[in-house]
Amino acid sequence: MKLKYMKLLWIIILIITLLVFLYYQNNNIMVTSYKVDSKDISKAFSGYKIVHLSDIHNKKFYKNGEDLIKKIYKEEPDLIVITGDLIDKRRYNETLSLNLLKKLIKIAPIYYVTGNHEFYSGKFIGLEKKLKELNVKVLRNERLEIRKDNKRLNILGIDDYTYFNNLIEYNDNLSKLTKGLEDKNFTVLLSHRPEKISEYKQYPIDLVLSGHSHGGQINLPFIGGLVAPDQGILPKYYSGLYKEDKTKMIINRGLGNSLFPQRLFNRPEIVVITLKRND
């Protein structure tokens, strides 16, 4: 009888340990830092810091996101960018999203582009208006210049691929976005879709910030991400820094989940990019 109770106790301990581990994997936010250098980054923007968030999916953070806010505040960013899927089409909650952004906008300016969930929710027009009322820069196939000491940093934002009828239309918008850009000014593209890197590299874009892949959802040792939206099993682009031709791309693993509710060896992520002039 005693042996039976001991077995039961160990089973309970293992179950509790597993549940704690899974909760940790899904909710403990890590900060990943990158330094991106280029001769096209002016001295005025050398040291410029960008916090990159993605795929929040209406996640309810512990204590209303207090830990997330503290981690971002500690980085002292010059700019915060969000590369889509702020909301989730299955559990749409704009109040949750707006309350988070009200806190973030006090830390730094926010630039934002759409993801596929903004499109599929069917409610983005109303949300877009409220985001703009918070002074969030919603870039819908637009480009802006950030000026500092008479030098410029180009920020481009393109809508998610779901907003376009086909690849030709998507490329037409990329062409319009980059038309007339001077090579001497560093250019950053905000786009939800990492799998479109073959399109981005055709244009004068130095750095792409992207999301959508959720880090491959489950990160297998020695293999990498298991599955990603629109890339399927063993995706090529799921997390980290990539380079194709002259274009670099950083993929954020995201903060939330969508259809599949669990991450494994793939904790939610804040990405911090520091720009450095390379003489």
What confidence score (pLDDT) does residue 49 get? Answer: 99
Tally the domains of the chain.
1
Phi/psi of residue 194, each to 5°?
Answer: -70, -25
Beta strand 137-138 with 110-113: parallel, antiparallel or unpaired?
parallel
The residue to which tokens 């040291």 are assigned: 47
Residue 170: give the domain boundaries: 2-277
- The backbone torsions φ and ψ at residue 99, rounded to the nearest 5 degrees and listed phi first, read -65, -40
pLDDT at 234: 97
Query: Three-state SS string across 45-83, please?
Result: HCCCEEEEECCCCCCCCHHHHHHHHHHHHHHCCCEEEEE
Question: What is the number of other CB atoms lying within 10 angstroms of the CB of residue 219?
Answer: 19
For 108-167, give the DSSP string. S-EEEE--HHHHHHS-HHHHHHHHHHTT-EE-SSEEEEEEETTEEEEEEE---GGGSSSH
Tens digit of pLDDT per residue, the chain (279 long)?
677 788 889 999 999 999 999 999 999 999 999 999 999 999 999 999 999 999 999 998 877 889 999 999 999 999 999 999 999 999 999 999 999 999 999 999 999 999 999 999 999 999 999 999 999 999 999 999 999 998 999 999 999 999 999 999 999 999 999 999 877 799 999 999 999 999 999 999 999 999 999 999 999 999 999 999 999 999 999 999 999 999 999 999 999 999 889 999 999 999 999 999 997
28-42 per-position pLDDT tens digit: 999 999 999 999 999
**pLDDT for res 1:** 66
Cβ contacts of residue 89 below 8 Å, gap of 6+? 117, 120, 121, 122
Q: How far apart are the first and last CA of the chain?
A: 75
Residue 51: name the closest of 65, 67, 66, 72 by CA. 72
From residue 4, how far is each of 14, 17, 232, 233 by CA, in Å? 15, 20, 45, 42
CA dist 39 and 184 (Å) reads: 8
The dihedral built from the CA positions of residue 73, 79, 83 and 89, taken in this order, carries a sign that is positive
* Domain of residue 56, CATH code: 3.60.21.10
Token digits of residue 195: 């799998």
Query: How do residues 52-63 score in pLDDT, each as one tens digit?
Result: 999 999 998 877
